[in-house]
Amino acid sequence: MKIKKILTFFAVLFAFMAAVGVTGIYISYHNPVITEYIYQSDKITDPFKIVAVSDLHSIEYGKNNSQLIEKIKLQSPDAIFMVGDFINKYDENHDHVTQLVEELSAVAPVYFSRGNHEGKYIASQGSQIIDDVKAAGAIFLDLGYDDIEINGQQIRVGGMVDYAFALDSTNSTNPKTMKKEVYNFLCEFQDSEKLKIMLAHRPDSFVLGEASKTWDVDLVISGHTHGGQVRLPFLGGLYASDQGLMPDYVYGFYKKDKIDIIISSGLGSGFTWVPRFNNPPEIVLINFIPEK
């Protein structure tokens, strides 16, 4: 009788853990949630709001992403920032990306900054995706920027996936060791009194090395980390590729040296050995308001 009770206990425990595991995975790939931030700055004179999305990785939310589009539409954004990895490096085509851009462009102006997966997709499939994203209505930003006005507010929006420091033992921002095109782009980008927003797919581009101490960027918006892929209660995200286990900059709002950064957990993940867990797909809504 005692052995039977012990076996029953472990059977119930196993069933409970299995149910928790299945639920934790299920909520991580269904029904995107809205995470809202308020961003204040003395550079802001007129309130506006943007939606930022990243890391779709070719997942669909509703047929042709109808659920995702409707949720974004309900936020009534003044602009939509697409911050990379909407495709997988191994995908055969990018039709779903251009269709999503076309649908979102009917909601608000779209600014698209590529991620590392778009880079690898372009390397294997060619750069047609860039032309198609532009034709679908987006401003494509890769080591480039656009000066725009939203509700009377002057903004400079840039996009990059490169690291904002030298990839060597120093991780410095020395122009002699940094990529010349990256250094020149950042120097030109920061030369403005406008509110400066950088769409940088990798948060590591600015939180590692000397980048956050050097560059005059008001707000960096990133994805890439998938919120740590597995989110543990009380501990947060488990892993980020450049930062390793229990990363410091994986999800949420941070202030680091001269910059503010918002890191989204994104909408999905590509093929990985460990699925997203306890990590709902995310749409970021940022309300920009004058500093009190």
Residue 202 has pLDDT above 60, yes or no: yes
Residue 151 lies in a domain: yes
Question: For the whole model, what pTM was predicted?
Answer: 0.92
* Helix (H), strand (E) at residue 198: strand 195-200
Residue 169 lies in a domain: yes
Between CA 271 and CA 86 the distance in angstroms is: 13
pLDDT of residue 232: 87
Residue 4 lies in a domain: no
What band does 26 get if pLDDT is binned at 50, 70 and 90? confident
Angle made by CA atoms 265, 269, 270, in degrees to the nearest 5? 155
Residue 165 lies in a domain: yes
Counting the structural domains of the chain, the total is 1
Residue 12 lies in a domain: no
pLDDT tens across 234-247, in order?
A: 889 888 888 989 99
Residue 256 lies in a domain: yes
pLDDT of residue 241: 84
Share of the chain above pLDDT 90, in %: 78
Residue 238 lies in a domain: yes
Residue range of the domain that includes 120: 31-290
Written as one letter, the residue type at 165 is: F
pLDDT of residue 22: 60
112 CB-near residues (< 8 Å, 6+ apart) = 82, 101, 133, 138, 139, 140, 141, 159
CATH of the domain at 42: 3.60.21.10
49 CB-near residues (< 8 Å, 6+ apart) = 75, 76, 77, 78, 285, 286, 287, 288
The residues that bridge with 288 in the sheet, in sequence order, are 39, 48
Residue 20 lies in a domain: no
Between CA 273 and CA 47 the distance in angstroms is: 43
